[in-house]
Amino acid sequence: MNGATGWHGHIMPTLRLALPVMLARAGALVLIAVDVAMTGRAGARELAHYGLGSAPQVPLMLIGIGLLLGIVIVTAFADGGGRSAECGMVWRVGLLHALGYGVLLAAACQAGEWFLLQAGQPADLAAGGGRVIAMFGWGMPGMLLFIATVFFLEGIQRPLPGVVAMIVGNLCNAALNWLLIFGHWGFDAMGAEGAALATSLVRWLLFAFVAGYVVLRVDRERYGLVHPSGGFRSVARRVRRLGYPMALGHGLEASAFSTMTLLAGLLGAAQVASFTIAMNAVALVFMLALGFSTAAGVRVANHVGRGDGVGVRLAGWVAAGLAVVLLGAVSIGFASAPVWLARLFTTDVGVLGLASSTFLVAALVLVPDGLQAVLLGALRGLSDVWVGTLVLFVAFWVVMVPLGYWMAVRGGGGAPRLMVAVGVGALVAATLLALRFRWRARRAAAEAPGPQI
């Protein structure tokens, strides 16, 4: 397909790729959302431990994922350019990098309590949160190996195995939570620590599932799984060249959001529990946007590989438009039922009212937050990664974090005001990224073929 087919010709191909990807990404967050909901039944204190434990481990994991994001772009570029045999080498590179990153991140997670103490958290919350971080660490290598394999599959436009894996993984996670959080069938009741351990075990299961699919179901000759094409070092350099700025961008964004959770922790257990609940719901919806972000990146990269500048422009804007429509509908749902949503996560009276107010504000966050992710994905398809990283720094560290501290901590606005700051930061990011993609897409249309990776 080329750009001459018009914008309507991009809708179905985008949806066919985006829908399975968003289900797979949502499944990864459902693991956390189920942990939050089930841990909330164990009490506000355990939920606070889980929220603080998630705060530093999520940025670490997202940095690792960012380092691997080059896999999907390099794979899509090769596949779209008729060089499918190079894709197997990209997967091999991705697995080796994922294992190395995962081991380093697992080691870093063992210092969780120290980090929380340095961040000013009370000693009891830091101790509980530190144990949660340590348990998350054991699953880091498995999660990154899973992500590397899913990125390879998405690059060759086979996202469905990731969806099936996440369905199986979530069922296993819920069962393990029931055993480990509450201590059924003779297991010790581990509370938040048990939820993190269950998630780590499931992450290794996810990798085993998708790796088995690649070995058994992907055409070995076509995609170079048996006799890989291309030099290892050359492919590794390309993956890292894209991965470094994306890892930095993920780290900046995720650490900024984790800082917001730490700010809530300064206000007490009820505030951090309420903000954790609402942010987990926002993050779950954000996974829908990541489906369109991945679709935008893959389809833009495909058109770059074909030298189709008009297709580059249409692929990005159609993905952005579809995301706005879907996220707008979800926003209406958030605004219509904040109390009902809060009750899904907690029955604690002291947390319920505050969480409901935070959900109401979160309804306004969903569209700009999702839109910035889609536009960032489209720019990645153009190999334009450093400017997006700078935009994330400005939006979330220069705008969001200081604004959140001023309104929520100094101003006493609590979790709802923290969510207002999140919305402002996301709006700044979406606006700046839209302007950047508009300029790059016009240049790509005028100067096809597009930039090389």
CB 288 within 8 A of CB 19: no
Q: Rounded to whole angstroms, how far apart are CA atoms 125 and 352?
A: 20
Q: Rounded to whole angstroms, how far apart are CA atoms 251 and 22?
A: 21
Task: Tell me the torsion sign for CA atoms 10, 13, 19, 21.
Answer: negative
Tell me if residue 137 falls in helix, strand or coil.
helix
Residue that wins the pLDDT comparison between 87 and 404: 404
- Cα angle 390, 233, 250 (rounded to 5 degrees) comes to 25
What mean pLDDT comes out for the span 123-138? 90
CB 75 within 8 A of CB 223: no
pLDDT in tens, 300-309: 877 776 777 7
pLDDT of residue 9: 64
Q: What is the DSSP letter of 337?
A: -
- In the chain, the amino acid numbered 220 is R
pLDDT of residue 434: 94
- 261, HSE (Cβ side, Cα atoms, 13 Å): 28
Token reading at 340? 């009902």
Q: Rounded to whole angstroms, how far apart are CA atoms 291 and 137?
A: 26
Q: C-alpha 191: how far from its chain's center?
A: 25
Q: C-alpha 126: how far from its chain's center?
A: 25
Residue that wins the pLDDT comparison between 380 and 99: 99
- Report the predicted TM-score, pTM, of the whole model to 2 decimal places: 0.73
Q: Rounded to whole angstroms, how far apart are CA atoms 312 and 2?
A: 9
pLDDT for residue 14 is more than 80: no
pLDDT in tens, 101-121: 999 999 999 998 898 888 788
Burial label, 307 (beta-carbon count in 10 A; 0-12, 13-18, 19+): middle
Q: Rounded to whole angstroms, how far apart are CA atoms 179 and 312?
A: 49
pLDDT band, residue 143 (cuts 50/70/90):
very high
Q: What is the DSSP letter of 191?
A: T
**Secondary structure element (H or E) that encloses residue 301, with its range:** helix 269-306
- Cα angle 168, 171, 174 (rounded to 5 degrees) comes to 150
Q: C-alpha 186: how far from its chain's center?
A: 35
pLDDT for residue 449 is more than 60: no
What mean pLDDT comes out for the span 415-436? 94
pLDDT of residue 452: 41
- In the chain, the amino acid numbered 450 is G
Residue 147 — φ and ψ, nearest 5°?
Answer: -65, -45
Q: Rounded to whole angstroms, how far apart are CA atoms 31 and 174?
A: 8
Cα dihedral value 244, 112, 99, 200, nearest 10? -120
CB 301 within 8 A of CB 33: no
pLDDT band, residue 137 (cuts 50/70/90):
very high
pLDDT of residue 46: 84
Residue that wins the pLDDT comparison between 349 and 102: 102
**Secondary structure element (H or E) that encloses residue 71, with its range:** helix 70-80
In 3D, which of 391, 386, 390 has the Cα closest to residue 434? 391
pLDDT of residue 313: 83
Q: What Å distances lie between residue 217 and 62, 213, 241, CA to CA? A: 28, 5, 30
Q: Rounded to whole angstroms, how far apart are CA atoms 283 and 425?
A: 15
Residues in Cβ contact with 346 at an 8 Å cutoff, skipping those fewer than 6 apart: 40, 44, 47, 273, 277, 352, 355
pLDDT in tens, 211-254: 999 999 988 888 888 776 667 888 888 888 888 887 888 788 87
pLDDT for residue 51 is more than 50: yes
